[in-house]
Structure 1
């Protein structure tokens, strides 16, 4: 097979197989950092594989050549595609092929523009939210956070210039000091880890490709795993019990904050369980998926660049 065919099939295989497999391996958050890397690698490698596939085919059609490969290495399907492009099968076939290629290119450009627009809109909204929170609340130097004088419980972070952690008077009244410190450490972990960038990217892909489960499920799973990562950071500073009690207290309020409701059951179960290192086979499986998702398309693209065959006929 040609590199283009390999990458195309690889992308479809990841879209079909990766969501259920990755969700099964990351449900309990045994290794959240590796699981996040696996989801991101699967999504990025799929986009990369499909983009390069289209680029290879378009270049072949426009330049009326197959590629740098010797003809004997090429897949017969791509050979027929080339013959149709140069008009060996008639003008109608040639015109139809170029029209199809044009539509495919246009579709990719539209998706790219939509993704860029979505990311820019999300950034503007986030910056405006941070600015309005600082205007509406008062800075509490002891907490290094903005306090909103409202009874409705709220505790969250907003990326901005500067980054802002927001808590409401309702949360201050509900939590004891060490529980509040755990909540603030959780939010700082989000900002220090730049989790907002990962969430913006994954949610942007899910918005642009709402029918592709890899991106829609991946966005929600990455968000859930990032909450667990922030829990781990806060637990290392204040202890698992403090984080757990803060989460349970917020969740039992009449109107709990959205951050406390996000993936609540797995987070509570995970913090309640004895602190055991993740099983070796889980780490190996998730790491293998991550490395494969990165290596396969990159290896194919590098091989295409140096003119070697990557898939046997």
Structure 2
């Protein structure tokens, strides 16, 4: 069995088992930053394992095609070489070439879709930021653009420069303390580059919607990033103030696509979390479990690579 096979099997196990475990551990937001890290570790390991497996497989194919050996892979390559040479007939030869072409096309299509998704998200947010700056009035004291509309909304969008948008309706609904907390929430999103994480996870979920790790991961990362921003605002202004600001913005206008806003995702769960924080023992337990999960998920491919580098047979070529 090759390193490529080890990585494929491992990534399959992570993709199947990790979503339910991570939802159970991280959904409540007891340790949102660690929850985001654990989700990103699982997603990154699966995608990285696929890429690394493809690279190892390509290297083994090239090596065994040039210098056949007595291994299972070499035997397969010998058969493929015979088919490619037309030994089993023209129809079989054409079938192999068509299959290889479809496989390469499928990979190219997926990569292209991901690239287009990321570019569209970037273009959309940059355009929205530009239009908001044109339509609104920049308030230097707030460090935000104020839109003269009655709907309550406060959100941030990535751009050049990044832009925080607040409506007149939101200003009327928030007193100074609550407004400062909301602005701190939005600044935390921008300083943490949360828009990049969301663009990546949403892009993967869009191109591979049948893989639960990506679809659940995208939704959960969005919730947890809002909780991370809540915590940043609470450290500066207090949990109670952030909670009151969320209540004041309850039922606010929907946050535009690609934007991040205090009233955008999971408001009820976030309000409950702020109103009744978990006790110390539960926080410690969840942190330990999330840290252990992230470590175990990350360790698999590292172990496989280390064994291969050391020349051990567990994930190296196996004689046939």
How far did residue 307 of structure 1 move?
4.6
Residue 276 of structure 2 is matched in structure 1 by 273
5 Å matches for 1:65-144? 65=65, 76=72, 78-87=73-82, 91=88, 96=95, 99-144=98-143
Deviation at 1:156, TM superposition (A): 0.2
Deviates most, 286-295 or 2-11: 286-295
Deviation at 1:27, TM superposition (A): 1.2
Matches for 1:246-285 after TM superposition, within 5 Å? 246-251=245-250, 253=251, 255-258=252-255, 259=261, 260-274=263-277, 276-277=279-280, 278-285=282-289
Over residues 148-190 of structure 1, what are the superposed CA-to-partner deviations in whole Å (9 max), with x where a residue is unaligned?
A: 0000111000111111100000000001110111000000000
TM-score (norm 2): 0.87
Q: Is the 8 A contact 1:60 1:66 kept in 2?
A: no
- 2:167 alignment counterpart: 168
- Conserved? CA contact 2:153–2:249, under 8 Å: no
Partner of 2:301: 297
User: Would the alpha carbon gap of residues 233 and 134 (structure 1) be closer, same or farther in structure 2, given more than 3 Å must change?
Assistant: same
Q: Judge conservation of contact 1:7–1:53 (CA < 8 Å) in 2.
A: yes
Between the aligned partners of 2:118 and 2:154, the Cα distance in structure 1 is 24
Alignment RMSD (CA, Å) = 2.6
Displacement, 1:305?
5.4
Shift of residue 271, structure 1, vs aligned partner: 0.2
Task: Quote the Cα distance in structure 2 between the aligned partners of 1:22 and 1:310.
Answer: 29
Task: State the distance in 2 between where 1:194 and 1:17 align.
Answer: 28
- Cα offset, 1:295, TM superposition: 2.5
Which residue does the alignment assign to 1:235? 234
How many corresponding residue pairs?
A: 306
Runs of 4+ in structure 1 deviating by more than 6 angstroms, as ranges, are none
Q: 1:154 touches 1:170 (CA, 8 Å); kept in 2? A: yes
Evaluate the alpha carbon distance shift between residue 66 and residue 226 of structure 1 in structure 2; reply closer, same or farther with a 3 A threshold.
farther
Instruction: State the alpha-carbon separation in 1 of the partners of residues 67 and 11 from structure 2.
Output: 21
Task: Decide whether the 8 Å contact of 1:156 with 1:166 is kept in 2.
Answer: yes
TM-score by length of 1: 0.88
Gaps of at least 5 residues in structure 1 are none
